Chains A and B, each alone.
Chain A
Amino acid sequence: MSYLKRIIYNCKKATLLIEKKAMSKITVREYIELSIHLIGCRFCRIYKKQSAVINEMVRQLFNDAMKPGARLDENFKRELQGRIEEELNK
């Protein structure tokens, strides 16, 4: 398979580069290869968009989970603070 054909066909590598580029640096060569690939590959163009949105949604999910509010039941909390007081008095 020719060099160019390998770039055009290899979606596995292209999607790995998409992930790497989103978080870190890729080499100039990798950048060029990825750009060439994306021009010809609709699948990977969709992947790239969705990948960024998924990051955002996962982050949102974690943020929402950290909003203030009671999660533990009161009995557990009372006992836990009791344990702490016990340790403090040792």
Chain B
Amino acid sequence: MEHKLNPHQWVAAHADYLYGFAIMRINDEEQARDLVQDTFLAALQKVDGFAGKSSERTWLTAILKNKIIDVYRKKSSGLRTTDVKESEEEQADFFDSNDGHWIHNNGPREFGIEDKDQLVSREFEAILKKCMQKLPVLWMSVFTMKHIDEEPTETICAELKVTPANFWVIIHRAKVNLRACLQKNWI
């Protein structure tokens, strides 16, 4: 089936969806609104290039994704020094710098999420959100692109300018920090 574009219906059909997509990834309402607007305006310039192979929404979302990556890049290049450093210092509290063993008081404990079938409460969700927001932008973008958008590792490395070795370090640090934040705030 060949898909068609209908810009007269764009806002009604896709604006809320695109906004939801953006807000989860950049967590700034004003910026998310701007991105939705920029996406539509950029899309208008590209209408002639639309081949009809993907749906209108998929096509618009791809344009938005690129814009979000631009934001990630800008945010993390300015912040790489400060927020990453802070979280890395926190990381030093997790593992012994000599042998890499968990530092006893900060090691993982069971806190009631180990059972997969368990219903996650609203309260827990709120804590999860807060903990995600505390991660450095670069870590969160790598994490989101990998786990949610399921982008190939090479793409993420190229887009965000990180080396493959650093990619795994970031994925690891993001998870260790996120897990520790959940344990600390939930127990």
Chain B associates with chain A: yes
Q: How far, in angstroms, from A10 to B144 measured CA to CA in the complex?
A: 27
A80: Cβ under 8 A from any B Cβ: yes
A65: Cβ under 8 A from any B Cβ: yes
Residue numbers in A under 8 Å from B95 (CB-CB): 11-12
Residue numbers in B under 8 Å from A9 (CB-CB): 99-101
Interface residues as binary, A65-81 with B (CB distance below 8 Å gives 1, 0 otherwise): 11011111000110011
Shortest Cβ gap from A23 to chain B (Å): 7
User: Could you tell me if A51 and B44 are in contact, using CB atoms closer than 8 angstroms?
Assistant: no
Residue numbers in B under 8 Å from A54 (CB-CB): 113, 175, 178-179, 182
Residue numbers in B under 8 Å from A84 (CB-CB): 7-8, 10-11, 40-41, 44
B52: Cβ under 8 A from any A Cβ: no
A47-B179, A59-B148 as given contacts; A71 in contact with B20, CB under 8 Å:
yes
A81-B12, A88-B7 as given contacts; A66 in contact with B108, CB under 8 Å:
no
User: Could you tell me if A46 and B114 are in contact, using CB atoms closer than 8 angstroms?
Assistant: yes
Cβ 8 A contact of B37, one of A24, A66, A80: A80
Shortest Cβ gap from A74 to chain B (Å): 10
Q: How far, in angstroms, from A5 to B8 measured CA to CA in the complex?
A: 67
Tell me which of B62-70, B73-81, B125-133 binds A: B125-133
The secondary-structure label for the interface of chain A is helix
Interface size on A, residues (CB 8 A): 47
User: Could you tell me if B108 and A50 are in contact, using CB atoms closer than 8 angstroms?
Assistant: yes
Shortest Cβ gap from B99 to chain A (Å): 4
A59-B147, A71-B20 as given contacts; A15 in contact with B172, CB under 8 Å:
yes
A36: Cβ under 8 A from any B Cβ: no
User: Could you tell me if B44 and A20 are in contact, using CB atoms closer than 8 angstroms?
Assistant: no
A62: Cβ under 8 A from any B Cβ: yes
A4: Cβ under 8 A from any B Cβ: no
Chain B positions within 8 Å of A, measured between CB atoms, are 7-8, 10-12, 15-17, 19-21, 23-24, 33, 36-37, 40-41, 44, 94-95, 99-102, 107-110, 113-114, 116, 120, 125, 128-129, 132, 143-144, 146-148, 153, 168-169, 171-172, 175-176, 178-179, 182
Leading 7 A-B pairs by shortest Cβ distance: A12-B100, A10-B100, A81-B11, A12-B95, A9-B99, A46-B108, A43-B107
Q: Could you name 27 residue pairs across A and B whose Cβ atoms are closer than 8 Å?
A: A1-B99, A9-B101, A10-B99, A11-B100, A13-B100, A16-B169, A19-B168, A19-B171, A20-B171, A23-B146, A23-B171, A43-B102, A43-B107, A46-B110, A54-B179, A57-B125, A57-B128, A71-B16, A71-B20, A72-B33, A80-B11, A80-B36, A80-B40, A81-B10, A83-B37, A84-B10, A87-B44
